[in-house]
A and B are shown apart, each in its own frame.
Chain A
């Protein structure tokens, strides 16, 4: 095993950082299961760092998706002062402490950078209704409520479903699956009528013509115009607002170190992930998975997190998902 790690280390060249550097393999902690959007992103960064020799030490992905991701949060919390662990976080850092009363606060971790914003899209089976309007009408007319697949309970997918109900008056039965991938295949197999997956989670089944994107939950359309399927690009998907359903939600993808690390250690990772965002691997990935590029660090990041936290808290309260 040691030989394997040494060999992996030898394969990475010499990086050009001054100051502090990791002395052990660095762990990217993923708060979700294998194959989910976080996992894919972590693997992309692992490959980008290794292929471009951005760090001497190898990077390993560690999946801590237990307890709907709470495992990863508690793991980071208990790793205070350890600069060899970075969390790839998403909106669960705000939601999980509210819905399940997990003793966790993101302010206890060290923020590194926000690296992307993820979209949500309303999808239905390609044999189903063709527009949002038809879809909502069909949902209202159905004898038993339409089944909406999603990841986890009282989380972003569930929140979106509640707001979709509020804005349209249609009723859905929300089915919490364990991962976005599972929600995707269940939609393809016609076990659910719709889902609100991230673009990356439904990309392959969309390309295979098995699902149809109805609208994207953002103020503006996705900017990528190259064709994804034979006829459509990400930019061709209308916004939900255009279609008369004013529901918006963007999800952060951000990197955190455990609490109580030194400023030097924090600076190393800020620089590292800045370099990652410059690589071809990152840019390809952003376009392929239809993510919004963004790079925030320091004060800007904290301000962003505070505002985002407030938005999420308001949504969760309104949806009635905050545990008493």
Chain B
């Protein structure tokens, strides 16, 4: 097989002491930036990018991509321990990861997160290795209607498959969509809802909102409960790790489903976020006891992490093959490629084989080395929970503030973060789910643009969403998922399914 030969060649390029050392350095740096809330992958990679200018392109990309893998692994740590997602796609990990940490199962949750990250990435890398040429032509099939259909699918699956009261999900989602509209409207070129304020021009940054909604509101809730330490001392040993691994085969359906969703959505830009939510929701939907999700169920960590990482990894493919970055970090890697004189595009795979296959080989090695590295350091990270809350809380608030400020160097964002902290607190008190809000905030703009571009292109004809097999099937699936509870109920009534008990509540 040609791909196999090229891959072996890639490994040959990599296996020198120099690159292996660079790999370790990159991973450690990556985990470090991933752990600091708010700093995250994109900022870390951006800060370290100039260091690599003097290296040859292959060494440089190996180091940078290892920072990327490291940050991906590290991002899960804050989500689970502090309920602060570092990257957009870690949001779904907090749903069950944080409750697990509160129950003293932090080590188990972390092990689950790292392991499933590894599985997701591995599936995606295998896909990249063997399907690279086919996948890049598949991505080209996506025009505005197809993009809109995918976003619609994400939104609909949230409403239809979510377990929260439907009206609360819709309220939360609508508020998110409203706030997503603040700022410049790309399609008309006009400003919306900025009320003459220069600060609102930028729109509301998703990460600022997330840091406030999840991080600050959590601190407020904990304070209300009289500074109680919520996470119990986590005892970690090889036994915990092996225990999680032993149970892994039990969850093969979840892992496989999430990997599939991840790879599929990763190829469309921005897919990692949608993928993690979808992975989570589908796992919940198909579980025998969906009520136990959100209360610290290990599958609730496996599902979004696998999907997010499958998607994050396969997102590198459109970046290399088409020059479309699938994530903030991928966008900075893209900038790096150009500095080294490599222009991402269809010809990259032909003209710079050494580089491309070196990078793909580094995905394999980086993931294996990264998994070992994070697992051996789990005790260190989990021990953060043993520090009294009164000491940790101010540090979390400060690093949240730094993170919110650093995204756009704007003081205004800190106030915005605090505001969202209060919104998050109120939402939690009155039982409005936060996830649909954040999802709408991050995808709202893209969905709106895709919809309006489709309308301009088709002259306002809605039939464009059924104009070919691809977009038609995605749109139809979205509508089916939206009305799933009704459909499921009807099917149950005519005796076509046994799952009536799942919808009868």
Contacts and interface: CB of A to CB of B under 8 A. Distances in A.
Interface of A: 1, 4-5, 7-8, 11, 33-35, 39-40, 43-44, 46-47, 50-51, 58-64, 66-68, 70-71, 74-75, 78, 99-103, 144-145, 147, 152-155, 158, 173-178, 181-182, 184-186, 188-189, 191-192, 203-205, 207-208, 210, 321, 323
Contacts of B348: 204
Given A43-B339, A205-B346, A189 B190 contact: no
A63 B329 CA distance: 13
Interface of B: 46-48, 50-51, 53-54, 139-144, 183-191, 198, 201-203, 322-325, 331-332, 334-335, 338-339, 343-348, 408-409, 449, 453, 456-459
Given A47-B339, A152-B189, A74 B457 contact: no
The 3 closest A-B pairs by CB, nearest first: A204-B345, A191-B143, A153-B189
A71 B409 CA distance: 12
A175 B345 contact: no
Contact of B143 (A67, A75, A153, A186): A186
17 contacts: A34-B325, A43-B339, A50-B50, A66-B184, A67-B183, A74-B201, A75-B409, A100-B189, A102-B191, A144-B459, A153-B185, A153-B189, A155-B189, A173-B457, A176-B187, A185-B140, A191-B144
B12 to A, nearest CB: 27
A70 B198 CA distance: 9
A72 to B, nearest CB: 10
B64 to A, nearest CB: 13
B457 to A, nearest CB: 5
B323 A66 contact: no
B50 A66 contact: no
Contacts of B48: 4
Nearest to A191: B143
B334 to A, nearest CB: 5
A71 B325 CA distance: 21
A152 B184 CA distance: 10
A78 B459 CA distance: 41
A323 B190 contact: yes
B344 A61 contact: no
A4 B47 contact: yes
A60 B43 CA distance: 12
Contact of B202 (A50, A62, A66, A185): A66
Contacts of A47: 53, 339
A155 B53 CA distance: 34
Contacts of B47: 1, 4-5, 60
A1 B49 CA distance: 12
Contact of B323 (A102, A181, A189): A181
Contacts of A189: 140-143
Contacts of B50: 8, 46, 50, 58-60
Contacts of A33: 331
A139 to B, nearest CB: 15
B155 to A, nearest CB: 20
Nearest to A71: B202
B191 A188 contact: no
Contacts of A100: 184, 189-191
B184 A67 contact: yes
A40 B322 CA distance: 16
B189 A66 contact: no
A182 B186 CA distance: 13
A181 B325 CA distance: 10
Contact of A175 (B51, B189, B203, B453): B453
A99 B187 CA distance: 13
Contacts of A1: 47
A122 B371 CA distance: 49
Contact of A67 (B202, B323, B409, B456): B202
Contacts of A153: 185-189
Contacts of A75: 409
Given A51-B53, A58-B50, A185-B324, A103 B198 contact: yes
B157 to A, nearest CB: 25
Given A4-B47, A47-B53, A176 B183 contact: no
A68 B338 CA distance: 22
Contacts of A173: 456-457, 459
Contacts of A74: 198, 201
A67 B53 contact: no
A321 B449 CA distance: 20
Nearest to A208: B346
Given A43-B338, A50-B53, A74-B198, 15 more contacts: A35-B344, A47-B53, A60-B50, A67-B191, A67-B203, A68-B186, A71-B201, A71-B408, A153-B188, A185-B324, A188-B140, A189-B140, A191-B143, A204-B323, A205-B346
B343 A203 contact: yes
